[in-house]
Structure 1
Amino acid sequence: MTMAHVIYEFGGVEQLRWEEITLADLQPNEVRLRQHAVGMNMMEIGLRIGAYPGPPLPFVPGVEAAGVIEAIGSEVNNVAVGDRVGYVGVPIGSYCETRNFPADRLFPLPDGISDKVAAASMVKGMTAEFMLRQSYAVKDRSRVLIHAAAGATGLMCVQLARHLGAQVFGTVSSDEKAAFVRQFGCEHPIVYTRDNFADVILAATNGQGVDVVYDSIGKDTFDDSIRCLQPLGTLCLFGVASGLPAPLDLMSQDLLTAKFFTRPSLYAHTKRRGHLLDLAAQTFDDIKAGILRTEIFAEYPLRDAPEA
């Protein structure tokens, strides 16, 4: 038995029910993991309200955690009892104290990375790594726009973009957040509650626009994200915090600009075990090198997750 948050109906935080659940028998390819720190992400909100695809009701939400292996299945040979490990993505179900998890979806936590830092940085940091190094390979003097730059994932993107030599634009909701993201390398914070970000960017770049937009907002930003892209620019839509954008007719797009559209996914970039291990290692290396700084904005006991 273990304690977990269970969702029986889609809705608000009141749908998170803290209760005792029974763990299934350990399968040959699984480990039993005692979780020491669980990360919180926008994905959990989407799962809770039914906006993102997830397991059938009822289910335990959550997509990342760090902990220690307590037991291993009969066919597991890549990890051992006592190993510190982390995971991201599927199978969903991190909002619990102990769980069973496929051994081949785990990666080691290096010395010097605490459980709390790992849980606060795995999804966000790994997302920044694959988007800025693979979805669109940011390089020296690239022009980059990062929406929600002061958010956890946005802040990781800002730091990595600056390290890679980019000119960084970022949208924020206030002057206080603008000052905050400047400390992390966002040269051009734009307070979107006051200024239209596309107008600001086009004015600052003599009408050329940016090479890439990393958009986690969706509906409210999508059209202007397209508008401020330069010809052959790339729009990476990786979140829909404001809702889904209207369907896009690609053939109606300007033939003279030929923009690229992609929907980056951590699941796709970690589907193969080798890619998962490489991406985790890159993220932890960048944290240890000081390229990525993890900001932990709040800590709660797991049972109090609805208050977060």
Structure 2
Amino acid sequence: MTASRKVELVEFGDPDVLKLVRRDVPPPAAGEVQIRHKAIGFNFIDIYQRKGVYPLPLPTGLGFEAAGVVEAVGPGVSDHAVGERVAYMNAGVGAYSDRRNVPADKLVKLPESVSDEMAATLLFKGMTAQYLLRRTHKVDPGDVLFVHSAAGGVGQILTRWATALGAIVFGSTGSPEKRETALAAGCKEVLDLDDPQWPEAFLAASGTKARVVYDAIGRATLLRSLDCAAPFGLVVSYGASSGKAPAIDPELLNKKGCLFLTRPSVFPHNADPATFRANAADLFDAIAQGHVKADIGARFALDDIAEAHRAAEERRVKGTILITP
């Protein structure tokens, strides 16, 4: 057994319910790899799970993504070796820890061009952008895209990568001070969602409707996002930061221009190990070319995980939060 610290949740609630405990980690079982974490990613879904918005069976750990070094391999594992640098973003919750055992088929090897910090802060968000740009809609040069929350973690990656692919990106933010961040990511123009006429403002700025509208906000924006999509265009509802998106009558899609509407997720797109590794290679190539960058706004030690959650909820951090063991 190897001792490890981990964050444990025994009840849902405010950040103070997050408790750092010491637990023994057994040797990796068949098909597993034991990883010593070097960098741990933070995502807003962690907050939803802590609060019970997306309830998990209790007690539970938290955290979906991390990067680190292989310390031991279990029986039957032949594609990973001790000392190897790896990362994951879909091995179940529990990344808020010093070390853990992870199924080998959930890991991806890290190239030299991708640091531990880059992997931990970019894998989950970058793989989300990857499927949105490559699978949900294969972005072509000249495509007009409208990206909500363009100054957010996924929004910035999505905007930078889409711009590198030749798309023309318009964005939205929830506050004027985030406008410069979205513009720096590559948006041609940024609309303020506090303006009740933001759909009209988008159409005035773009001069045309969007081939794709990427909506991570949900309840507050989705119905009006339909007004921003071109005939036969696509509206992608991939998040719900304002709450669950409203139900939509299919006939409304017809009336708005024979629109397509989808609600995808990063995990089904990467459920197959070979597909996951191919998608990760695509992301790593985009990182190497500079199309995707790590924008680390704050670093918190694992001991200060409650403060990390408070800072995120209070919107005190511009950029991504990184957790260090």
Q: Distance in 1 between matches of 2:273 and 2:265?
A: 15
**What one-letter code is carried by the residue in structure 1 that aligns with 2:62?**
P
Distance 1:256 1:98, change over 3 A: closer
Answer yes or no: is the 8 Å Cα contact 1:219–1:245 preserved in 2.
Answer: yes
Residue 187 of structure 1 aligns with which residue? Answer: 188
Residue 114 of structure 1 aligns with which residue? Answer: 115
Q: Distance in 1 between matches of 2:79 and 2:259?
A: 43
Q: Distance in 1 between matches of 2:138 and 2:53?
A: 30
CA apart distance, 1:246 = 1.8
* Cα deviation code 1:21-76 (max 9, x no counterpart): 2324521110111001000001111211222254x111001000000010000110
Q: Distance in 2 between matches of 1:163 and 1:195?
A: 31
CA apart distance, 1:136 = 1.2
Answer yes or no: is the 8 Å Cα contact 2:91–2:102 preserved in 1.
Answer: no
Answer yes or no: is the 8 Å Cα contact 2:253–2:260 preserved in 1.
Answer: no
Q: Verify: 1:100 aligned to 2:89, yes or no.
A: no
Q: Distance in 2 between matches of 1:49 and 1:171?
A: 27
CA apart distance, 1:191 = 1.8
Answer yes or no: is the 8 Å Cα contact 2:148–2:173 preserved in 1.
Answer: yes
Q: Verify: 1:283 aligned to 2:283, yes or no.
A: yes
After TM superposition, the structure 1 stretch with the greater mean CA deviation from structure 2, 131-140 or 167-176, is 167-176
**What one-letter code is carried by the residue in structure 2 that aligns with 1:109?**
L
Distance 1:111 1:2, change over 3 A: same
Residue 22 of structure 1 aligns with which residue? Answer: 24
Residue 320 of structure 2 aligns with which residue? Answer: none
Answer yes or no: is the 8 Å Cα contact 1:4–1:95 preserved in 2.
Answer: yes
Q: Verify: 1:267 aligned to 2:267, yes or no.
A: yes
Task: Output aligned runs, 1:140-289, within 5 Å.
Answer: 140-194=141-195, 196-206=197-207, 208-255=208-255, 257-289=257-289
Q: Distance in 2 between matches of 1:250 and 1:24?
A: 51
Residue 4 of structure 1 aligns with which residue? Answer: 6
SS at match of 1:297: strand
**What one-letter code is carried by the residue in structure 2 that aligns with 1:7?**
L
Q: Distance in 2 between matches of 1:203 and 1:21?
A: 57
* Cα deviation code 1:208-246 (max 9, x no counterpart): 411111111111111111111111111111111110022
CA apart distance, 1:255 = 4.4
CA apart distance, 1:254 = 2.7
TM-score by length of 1: 0.95
Distance 1:88 1:265, change over 3 A: same
Distance 1:35 1:117, change over 3 A: same
Which blocks of at least 5 consecutive residues in structure 1 are unaligned?
Answer: none
Which blocks of at least 5 consecutive residues in structure 2 are unaligned?
Answer: 309-325
CA apart distance, 1:112 = 2.5
* Cα deviation code 1:63-113 (max 9, x no counterpart): 000000100001101100110000012322101111010001100011022
Answer yes or no: is the 8 Å Cα contact 2:161–2:291 preserved in 1.
Answer: yes
- Among candidates 40, 43, 59, match of residue 41 of structure 1: 43
SS at match of 1:300: strand
After TM superposition, the structure 1 stretch with the greater mean CA deviation from structure 2, 124-133 or 65-74, is 124-133
Runs of 4+ in 1 over 3 A off after TM superposition: none
Percent identity reads 36
Distance 1:195 1:168, change over 3 A: farther
Residue 68 of structure 1 aligns with which residue? Answer: 69
CA apart distance, 1:292 = 1.1
CA apart distance, 1:259 = 1.1
After TM superposition, the structure 1 stretch with the greater mean CA deviation from structure 2, 25-34 or 254-263, is 254-263
Distance 1:256 1:37, change over 3 A: closer
Q: Distance in 2 between matches of 1:53 and 1:227?
A: 33
Residue 15 of structure 2 aligns with which residue? Answer: 13
Query: Alpha carbon RMSD of aligned pairs, Å?
Result: 1.5
> How many residues are treated as equivalent by the alignment?
306
TM-score by length of 2: 0.90
CA apart distance, 1:175 = 3.3
